[in-house]
Chains A and B, each alone.
Chain A
Amino acid sequence: MEDLEVSGLTVRFDGTTAVDGVDLVLPAGSVTAVLGPSGCGKSTLLRAIAGLEQPASGSVVYAGQDLARVPTHRRGFALMFQDGQLFPHQDVASNVGYPLRLRRVPGQQRAERVEELLDLVGLAGFGDRMPATLSGGERQRVALARSLAVQPRLLLLDEPLSALDRGLRERLAGDLHDILRRAGTTTLLVTHDHEEAFAIADRMAVMREGRIVQVGDLAAVWEHPADAWSARFLGYAEVLTGAQAELLRGLIDPAATWSAVALRRSALEIDPSGPLAAQVVSARVSPEQVRLVLDVDGLGRLAAVADPGHPARAGERVRVGVRTDRLAPLG
């Protein structure tokens, strides 16, 4: 019963509503991502849960206890920012040990726990380094270790990987996924990057203009975006409606009733036996695949891919197949 329940939460700043009646349940042990564009209110939601913003109405309840009158430092949560916010005047071990010192954990025990945490985040032996000498990724790891030091009841991550470069982000996302599962910490992460959300979370809430538009298990949200906007934000490349959607439906699933469909970039691929015909508008080779823009007969300009073994040239006529596991019907 140690769920976190947010109900009807509204936060206003001088007349503008940043968070608008949000309901959200975080089951114990789950890792939930709130995904939304910048300015959608997701960070404010996170801050309100942490107790750093005062809600205009609504409640935040942890394990049955209303937190309205509980100040941030008594909530037993931990908040980790985009850039870590390590204390620059303390070395890595002191940063990680900070929450332990607050709880008067004895020195020996503290040192052991710090060691253990640094090990967990893959930074064993970094204890006496100063934050300024660390790379961005190392800093985020230290910040994570610091946040996990006292086994928070809830871990709040504010765009934990956005400040890092791509390769590092992917690696750290994988690590973060494993570390959170091993620690079993209930986690809420907010991000604008759907890949970050997919890599770390197992539940997802899509947020738009202060409201949660969709929430559920990662796969469920991914397979059934609530609407065209959500689909685009979740990384679908195209949304077809009207006659185009009908044409595609007739080809792949005539019995279905949907009237719009979201396509991933890889939903269309060059296939000599495919049902569609198209002219190649442009082709760009990347290490994994050839990225194409096609002018598909009856559907118009759409993104598609081809195997690097069968490159297509601009201007060429090709046949196109549809991968039904790479598209999502919308209502």
Chain B
Amino acid sequence: MPTLRSRLGTATLVAVPLVVLVAFFLYPVSGMIGRGFWTDGSFDPGGVLDVLGRDRVHRVVWFTLWSAGLSTALAVVLGVPSAYVLHRLSFGGQRILRTLIVVPFVLPTVVVGVAFRQLIAPSGLLGGLNLDGTATAIIAALVFFNVSVVVRTVGSFWEGLDRRTEEAAAALGASPLRVFGTITLPALLPSIASAASVVFLFCSTSFGIVLTLGGLRYANVETEIYQLTTQDLDLQAAAALSVLQIAVITALLVISHRTRRNAPALTRAAERGRRPAVRDLPLLLWTAAVIALLVTPLTTLLVSSLRIDGAWSLANYRALQTTGAHNALLVTASSALAHSLEIAVQAAAFALVLGTVVAFLVSRRPRSRAVRRASGVFDGVFMLPLGVSAVTLGFGFLITLNKPPLDLRSSSLLIPIAQAMVALPLVVRTVAPVLSSIDPRQREAAASLGAGPLRVLLSVDLPYAWRALVAATGFAFAVSLGEFGATSFLSRDDNPTLPVVIFRLIGRPGAENFGMALAASVVLAAATGIVMLLVERFRVGSVGAF
């Protein structure tokens, strides 16, 4: 029975993350958008509408939509069979492959961009195809990046499906293909739809990849906002695009939330997958091809970072101790790495605390319909950072958090906070499913035996959730290590993060600088990869699943 104290406790739990979200997400984002609507102190929505009529804007929006749509379709087609092989079958080395497939998702976008540039460069493996600066290259990189989302989301769901339903259909005389079509696929659809909507979201808001691979010809809404704010100083147009993006993405999040709500709660598969049989061969080959596609750019990156003028060399790595050729940087790449690590620790801690509170709240199953609805909205609001352009967020930070009441311009916490906002939805999505899979009667049994609310958390929730908490922390750490969109606005030249350094290096002339970018990319990829490898050891199915 809610006493006054427990009501106060809940109110505090709801208020703290909300206040943080308002201060460090809604306020900056609306500040950025407000700049577009108020020109010279007067409200001018007409100017924003004019922007949406521009030809260039039409081109940008169209490219965003079709590139994201095509990438999503390809990611689903490539990912679903692999989800089956990696989550429904059982064979040696499967865990390593599962880890491998999740690594691209946490790779910093600039690293993926650099890897693909190296792959399609005239000297690269695919140099003969003349893909440099084409839409094909962008789409390939987007697919590379997002296949893992499909595999993880659909795979963890597939793993939890009760096989007996399929066995019952087979026993009634359905062929394997028919079982798949009539039983398995309909059951999987919610998870496929959920994965597809998230992938579309990531593709349409992709920043680092389009910026590094798009060259002068291709821009999506995200890079266009960056271009408009930093180069053209056309805040009105940038705001217009931000509003458009937020509208579309909110709609997508609502759809994604609906499909997730219809999906059954995460269940742990009681049985192991079966051994692969001969009839699985096509799917195994398909998966092998997908993995090869994922490995190739990374191998190319690694190999090229070790080659200088046709010979093996560690010079690119040694150069990380320097500021680059022609002093391309103000600080050494290695000190940028140290700075990145420090920020990532802070951001991960921040995202963990906040995300756990949110996950705790949204995982309760209140009886009252009104409270349930409120909880759904609460959940959705904290997913917003997933969809709002990191560029909008970064620029919003820059223009709103520089004066009272929130003057954080010179605070070293500015970047960690921004990155924590970006990682927050991922923490919530990792922890919440685990918390909601706990039978509420476990908590009730503990309470009836005399455990107070805090004690229930420690003795019931924590033993279930600690793996997910550790995994979510690692995940958040990896994501902030590679965060580029928001950081690119907030990081100062005398104290940059490693992704910013990489972007700077590839923009500077000189093979030495590009070689150094390759080496830095490998280091960054290795750092995020190792973290994900550790995370994977905790076997939390909800990591990277949506």
Contacts and interface: CB of A to CB of B under 8 A. Distances in A.
Interface of A: 13-14, 47, 50-54, 68-81, 85, 87, 89-90, 98-99, 102-103, 143, 146-147, 149-150, 156
Given A13-B367, A73-B447, A99-B449, A85 B442 contact: yes
A85 B3 contact: no
Interface string B441-474: 1101111111111011001100110000000000
A109 B450 CA distance: 19
Given A54-B1, A73-B455, A149-B449, 14 more contacts: A14-B367, A54-B2, A71-B1, A71-B6, A71-B452, A73-B453, A79-B449, A85-B441, A87-B442, A87-B446, A98-B449, A99-B449, A146-B449, A150-B449
B448 A156 contact: yes
Contacts of A13: 367-368
Contacts of A150: 449-450
Interface residues of B, number: 26
A52 B456 CA distance: 14
Contacts of A78: 448-449
Nearest to A48: B1
A256 B439 CA distance: 54
A51 B1 contact: yes
Contact of B445 (A53, A68, A79): A79
A72 B444 contact: yes
A89 B1 contact: no
B498 to A, nearest CB: 39
Contacts of B451: 73, 98, 102
B369 interface: yes
B463 A81 contact: no
A81 B450 contact: no
Interface in B424-446: 439, 441-442, 444-446
Contact of A14 (B368, B456, B459): B368
A85 B439 contact: yes
A98 to B, nearest CB: 6
A76 B367 contact: no
Contacts of B1: 51, 53-54, 68-72
A51 B449 CA distance: 12
Contacts of B448: 50, 52, 72-73, 75, 77-79, 156
B445 A81 contact: yes
| Top 10 closest pairs, chain A to chain B, by CB | A79-B448, A99-B449, A72-B447, A89-B463, A85-B445, A102-B450, A73-B447, A85-B441, A73-B452, A54-B1
A149 B446 CA distance: 13
B3 A71 contact: yes
Interface string B317-336: 00000000000000000000
A80 B444 CA distance: 10
9 contacts: A14-B369, A54-B1, A69-B1, A71-B3, A73-B453, A79-B445, A85-B445, A87-B460, A156-B448
B450 A99 contact: yes
A46 to B, nearest CB: 10
A99 B451 CA distance: 8
A71 B446 CA distance: 13
Contact of A50 (B6, B444, B456, B464): B444
A70 B460 CA distance: 21
A149 B448 CA distance: 12
A87 B439 CA distance: 11
Contacts of A80: 445
B3 A69 contact: yes
Nearest to A84: B445
Contacts of A99: 449-450
A72 B447 CA distance: 6
Contact of A98 (B368, B459, B464): B459
Contacts of B464: 89
B482 to A, nearest CB: 34
Interface string B350-368: 0000000000000000011
Contacts of A51: 1, 447
A80 B442 CA distance: 10
Task: Name which of B367, B368, B441, B448 has the most chain A CB atoms within 10 A of its CB.
Answer: B448
Nearest to B449: A99
A143 to B, nearest CB: 8
A53 B460 CA distance: 20
Contacts of A75: 448
